[in-house]
Amino acid sequence: MHRVLLTGGPALTRDAYARIIEDSALLTVQAQSPDLTHALAQLPSLRPDILLIDALALALSPWTTTLLCLRRAAAHTALAVIGDTPSEEISSLLQVGVTGILGPRIEADPFVTALALISQGGTVISSPSATTKISATSPSPALDQLSTRERQILAMIATQPDNKTLAQLLGISPLTVKSHVNRILRKLGASSRAHLVTIAYESGLISPGLLAGRTPAY
């Protein structure tokens, strides 16, 4: 069972998320906190598998402060944001380590599946404002030699093969993306970007069922 710490947003909304989570066979609610700052302070002691943050909580502090806090939190647990996330904020969230961005109208089953994937080290982006949608399962042992950022980029190559687009989504330069891709090629012994896409699918990093035709509803 993957432990979820819920924070932010209206109490009724958190309770609705909690009921869906508790009704699943994959997840359990470890705790709830209406305040994001309090929830972040609890991470070292509670050590949840995932911190699920209502997007409304991100607007209560200056954006730079929020991003710094999220970057620190990503060292302790997987982070997911649910709600209306402006498109211009998505790249910043990815850059600081958020691996789940979920739209506010996601349905129950995809919601549970997404949280389970995120808690296992996967990446799920399913937001009306996102320019891409990525769902990645827990990395296989064959990918252990890759860093978290390298696994993220490998997953994104399967849907956004253009370095410029990847750079815009991640908030980094195309040259930095190119450097990451070259390191991934060397580490995996891949001969081309197409080979990397094959590895991403065959290793289980990418979940094609959520990428093609069965993307979580929102």
Domain locations in the chain as residue ranges: 2-135, 141-202
**67 membership: H or E segment, kind and range:** helix 63-73
Instruction: State the pLDDT confidence band at 66, using cuts at 50, 70 and 90.
Output: very high
Beta pairing class for 78-82 and 100-102: parallel
- The matching CATH number, chosen from 1.10.3720.10, 3.40.50.1100, 1.10.10.10, 1.20.1560.10, for 141-202 is 1.10.10.10
- The C-alpha atoms of residue 190 and residue 112 are separated, in whole angstroms, by 33
Whether 7 and 95 have beta carbons less than 8 Å apart is answered as no
Most confident of 65-79, 156-170, 186-200: 65-79
> What does pTM read for this prediction?
0.65
Q: Give the percent of the chain with pLDDT over 70.
A: 84
- pLDDT exceeds 50 at position 218: no
CATH class, domain 2-135, is alpha beta
Angle at 39 between CA 34 and CA 44, to 5 degrees: 165
Instruction: State the pLDDT confidence band at 199, using cuts at 50, 70 and 90.
Output: confident
The pair of three-digit structure tokens given for residue 7, joined into one six-digit string: 């924070």
Mean pLDDT computed over every residue of the chain: 81
Q: DSSP code of 97?
A: T
